[in-house]
Amino acid sequence: MNAGAEYTALNFFTHPATVEGAPVRKFTDRASDPESNVVSRDSNVTRAYYSIGSVPNRIPGTKDIKGFFSFLSGLAWSFNLTSPRTYRGNLINYPDDGRHYKTPEEYLMNQLFPLPSQLGRNMEYVYEDYQIYFTLYLGYYEGQNVHFGVGPVYGLAFYRMDILQNDTRISSVKNEVQDLKGLRVLFEYNIGQYFPDTILYNAYFFAEITSLGSMDGRGMQIRNQVTTANNLPAPSLYMTMTTYRFGVRKELQLSKETPKKEEGPAYPPLKNLPSAGLPKKEGDIQTTSSETENPG
């Protein structure tokens, strides 16, 4: 079980609109990525959280592999299930800035020179999800007190998203499923070594960075029901999520440990008997002779 804090940055964006097959890049935002148009202010959230998961485990049968396939000994895996978390933020000029257009030329001009955020279309979103995912560590180092791993993340997110404009809900989707793809970097340090006789004997301080929706450069597609100013379907909305977490991981033991047997000799010590092939001591021989001579 993990207990700690997280810092999450959400970004919503769309792919550039096209006119006759050519993408349209906004002239008012020259620093933006030409492959995407960011339509949200950064939604940064810091909060406590809970998650249930497994510690990184080696792939069965690969720990002691030698030779050409020795690289398999560096693989590990883990899974995580997070509690629901809610994020709020603003969408800026999505799916357009609110101006009506009648001709393709007007549409093109509105895309190239959108209104500033103070004058354009502004909406508020409420996004909530919980996630279950697996991490495949392609490189995992497990020392006595330090663990480090890096690898891709695969899983599912179950989410809902509401979009509000002027206190009116204009889009609401629920019980949607989205596949998760991303990358994780994990660092752990054994703090239980300083508390050997307490419940924290196997506790670890951990710090991790998980970036979702950025492996293929397209982000996670999020369903919505928003329309443009001309009541046309809005372009698809995508999302990326980068989470920074730190806290304490405590391993829960669900079964009772088998008590260890006291170590001792494998066989009882041999007695000093003739049948054991050992010579008798001189004292033993004299005692036996005297007992024979004086039986009474």
Residue 21 confidence (pLDDT): 62
What is the torsional sign of CA 151, 154, 158, 160? positive
Regions of the chain where pLDDT drops below 50: 287-290, 292, 296
Is residue 290, in this structure, part of any structural domain at all?
A: no
Is residue 264, in this structure, part of any structural domain at all?
A: no
Is residue 286, in this structure, part of any structural domain at all?
A: no
Residue 266 C-alpha from the chain's centroid = 48
Q: Where are the beta strands (DSSP E) in the chain?
A: 2-14, 18-19, 22-23, 37-38, 43-53, 57-58, 76-82, 85-92, 122-137, 139-142, 146-165, 168-190, 203-212, 220-222, 237-250
Is residue 272, in this structure, part of any structural domain at all?
A: no
Closest CA to 158 of 178, 144, 185: 178
Is residue 104, in this structure, part of any structural domain at all?
A: yes
Please name every residue paired with 187 in a beta bridge, in sequence order, or none if there are none: 148, 207
Closest CA to 217 of 8, 33, 2, 90: 33
Taking CA atoms, 69 is separated from 72, 152, 257, in Å, by 6, 20, 34
Taking CA atoms, 211 is separated from 127, 129, 180, in Å, by 17, 15, 10
Residue 214 confidence (pLDDT): 72
Collapse the DSSP code of 15 into the 3-class scheme (helix H, G, I; strand E, B; otherwise coil) and give the result: coil
Is residue 103, in this structure, part of any structural domain at all?
A: yes
> How many structural domains compose the chain?
1
- Give the pTM: 0.74
Is residue 268, in this structure, part of any structural domain at all?
A: no
Is residue 260, in this structure, part of any structural domain at all?
A: no
Classify residue 167 as exposed, middle or buried by CB count within 10 Å of its CB (0-12, 13-18, 19+).
exposed
Supply 208's token pair. Answer: 């991790």
Residues 115, 105: Cα–Cα separation, whole Å: 16
Residue 145 confidence (pLDDT): 92
Residue 296 confidence (pLDDT): 47
Residue 158: give the domain boundaries: 2-250
Residues 148, 143: Cα–Cα separation, whole Å: 9
Residue 16 confidence (pLDDT): 77
Collapse the DSSP code of 116 into the 3-class scheme (helix H, G, I; strand E, B; otherwise coil) and give the result: coil
Q: What is the dihedral of CA 145, 204, 158, 166, to 10 degrees?
A: -120
Classify residue 148 as exposed, middle or buried by CB count within 10 Å of its CB (0-12, 13-18, 19+).
middle
